[in-house]
């Protein structure tokens, strides 16, 4: 076989450009898609996809008109498009439906957007008036662009006209969460759940906010409910895994993360959950490797950058880490709690290097951020928090961690006020 023939065959199978285009088209459709593990407020739904789909399909038609794609390259494009949607949190059945529309577009056979017809039962459930639909899409775009204050204003305008819109209520709660207004967010998530008792995303978001506020028992109940309502809701499953991991129920948490990764191997939040478990069990090297995988999937994930500083002693050779962490923290479009986490990590970096004045500045900034999102002291809420902590970490919890029959004495030593008496 001649070189020209070989080159022609290799060119026929070289689908890297097609795969790249598929990823780009998916990211156009789902810009800044909701991160699993966080409130899903900018997740695209069937009610608001139609207009955006038409735009993306038209772009695909223009972009591909000059390319001569064989069926192998079209298949690679469609496959990369679908997997990017799945990684962004779009449910499997909806991702399949959207991808089918793209395949029809590529074949020239698409006469209409497949989602332009509501799924069976959806139209009868709650049709969106056109103005409300456009407001919802506009607010979701603001969320995707990180303009949470603008998104909140639009959601509030939408809710004034359609106060029983569970999707808008849920998304408003997600926008408020981004600004650290967790108590306000909780109110809207509860309203969404009350209006739509089968709304898995709202249960997941409510459970996550309660976890952030320290109410682990109720958080676990709500997250289990979210997964039961929709076992394919990867966001809810990751959130449940995170709650279990923070309660040191690592075996159960790992099972949920593994289930998510089986369907979406590059799911950054499930990988991050695995890294947290490795760290909590003392496998710092394994945790560091897992965090590397997280950052391959989502290069600017604040929690992953912060965690890198916690699994080893930082040195002057980590200056690139420090530069990137500062850049993300100063970006202005991450929630206060995530910026605080990064500032604490940057403080540790300077502390490890003996740069104590700069370490103090970072720690001070982190604490100031946490003050902005802390609830005012409320005796009843604090009592509830303590009661739930006792309930979560009681006798049963100790039994689940396993015991050892050895009678060898254990000496507990440490500086004064370091907790030795409690241990």
Least confident of 44-58, 126-140, 193-207, 334-348: 44-58
What's the confidence (pLDDT) of residue 81? 79
pLDDT digits (tens, 9 = 90+) for 355-411: 999 999 999 999 999 888 777 788 887 888 788 777 766 666 666 556 677 888 888
| Cα dist from 185 to 10, 152, 301, 357, 376, whole Å | 54, 11, 22, 36, 15
pTM as predicted: 0.64
Confidence band of 89 (pLDDT split at 50, 70, 90)? low
**How far is Cα 208 from Cα 41, in angstroms, rounded to an integer?**
13
What's the confidence (pLDDT) of residue 36? 44
Question: Mean pLDDT of all residues in the chain?
Answer: 81
Residue 27 has pLDDT above 90, yes or no: no
Residue 247 has pLDDT above 80, yes or no: yes
What's the confidence (pLDDT) of residue 413? 87
| Mean pLDDT of the 333-339 span | 86
Residue 259 has pLDDT above 90, yes or no: yes
pLDDT digits (tens, 9 = 90+) for 159-185: 998 999 999 999 999 999 988 899 999
Closest listed residue to residue 314, CA positions, set 270, 349, 269: 349
Helix residue ranges, H only, 162-267: 166-178, 182-195, 200-212, 216-229, 234-246, 250-263
Helices then strands (H, E): number in the chain? 22, 0
Residue 48 has pLDDT above 50, yes or no: no
What's the confidence (pLDDT) of residue 336? 87
pLDDT digits (tens, 9 = 90+) for 261-282: 999 999 999 999 999 999 999 9
Confidence band of 130 (pLDDT split at 50, 70, 90)? very low
Q: Which residue has the higher pLDDT, 417 or 86?
A: 417
Q: Which residue has the higher pLDDT, 313 or 139?
A: 313
| Domain coordinates in residue numbering, the chain | 11-122
Q: Which residues have CB under 8 Å from 71's CB, separation 6+?
A: none
Percent over 70 (pLDDT), the chain: 75
Percent over 90 (pLDDT), the chain: 44
Q: Which residues have CB under 8 Å from 154's CB, separation 6+?
A: 135, 138, 139, 142
Helix (H, G, I), strand (E, B) or coil at 180: coil
**How far is Cα 263 from Cα 267, in angstroms, rounded to an integer?**
9
Q: What phi-psi label fits residue 44: left (phi over 0), alpha (psi between -120 and 50 degrees) or beta?
A: beta
What's the confidence (pLDDT) of residue 256? 97
Confidence band of 128 (pLDDT split at 50, 70, 90)? very low
| Mean pLDDT of the 204-216 span | 91
**How far is Cα 182 from Cα 189, in angstroms, rounded to an integer?**
10
| Mean pLDDT of the 186-206 span | 95
Helix residue ranges, H only, 298-378: 302-308, 319-329, 336-352, 356-373
Residue 113 has pLDDT above 80, yes or no: no
Length of the chain: 423
Residue 45 has pLDDT above 70, yes or no: no
What's the confidence (pLDDT) of residue 15? 63
């Amino acid at each position: 076989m001649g070189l020209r023939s070989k080159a022609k065959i290799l060119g026929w199978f070289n689908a890297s450009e097609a795969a790249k285009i598929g990823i780009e088209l998916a990211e156009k459709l789902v810009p800044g898609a909701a991160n699993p593990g966080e409130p899903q407020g900018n997740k695209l739904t069937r009610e608001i996809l139609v207009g955006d789909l038409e735009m993306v399909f038209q772009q695909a038609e223009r972009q591909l008109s000059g390319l001569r794609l064989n069926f192998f390259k079209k298949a690679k494009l469609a496959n990369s498009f679908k997997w990017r949607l799945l990684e962004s949190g779009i449910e499997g059945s909806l991702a399949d439906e959207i991808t089918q529309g793209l395949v029809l577009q590529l074949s020239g056979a698409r006469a209409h957007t497949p989602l332009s017809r509501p799924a069976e039962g959806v139209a009868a459930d709650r049709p969106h008036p056109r103005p409300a639909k456009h407001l919802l899409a506009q607010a979701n775009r603001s969320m995707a662009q990180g303009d949470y204050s603008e998104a909140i204003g639009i959601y509030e305008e939408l809710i004034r006209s359609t106060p029983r819109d569970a999707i808008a209520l849920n998304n408003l709660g997600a926008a408020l969460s981004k600004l650290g207004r967790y108590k306000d967010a909780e109110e809207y998530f509860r309203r969404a759940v009350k209006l739509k008792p089968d709304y898995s995303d709202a249960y997941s978001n409510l459970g996550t906010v309660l976890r952030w506020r320290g109410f682990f028992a109720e958080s676990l109940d709500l997250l289990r409910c979210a997964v039961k309502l929709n076992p394919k809701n990867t966001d809810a499953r990751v959130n449940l895994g995170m709650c279990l991991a923070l309660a040191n129920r690592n075996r159960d948490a790992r099972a949920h993360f593994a289930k998510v990764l089986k369907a979406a191997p590059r799911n950054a939040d499930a990988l991050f959950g695995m890294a947290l478990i490795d760290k909590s069990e003392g496998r710092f090297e394994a945790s560091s490797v897992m965090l590397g995988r997280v950052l391959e999937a989502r290069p600017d994930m604040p929690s992953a950058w912060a965690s890198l500083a916690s699994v080893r002693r930082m040195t002057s050779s980590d200056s690139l880490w420090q530069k990137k962490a500062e850049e993300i923290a100063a970006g202005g479009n991450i929630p206060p709690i995530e910026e605080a986490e990064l500032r604490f990590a940057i403080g540790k970096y300077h502390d490890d290097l003996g740069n104590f004045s700069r370490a103090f500045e970072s720690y001070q900034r982190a604490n100031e951020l946490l003050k902005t999102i802390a609830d005012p002291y409320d005796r009843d809420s604090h009592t509830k928090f303590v009661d739930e902590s006792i309930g979560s970490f009681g006798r049963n919890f100790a039994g689940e961690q396993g015991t050892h029959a050895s009678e060898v004495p254990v000496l507990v030593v440490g500086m004064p006020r370091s907790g030795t008496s409690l241990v």
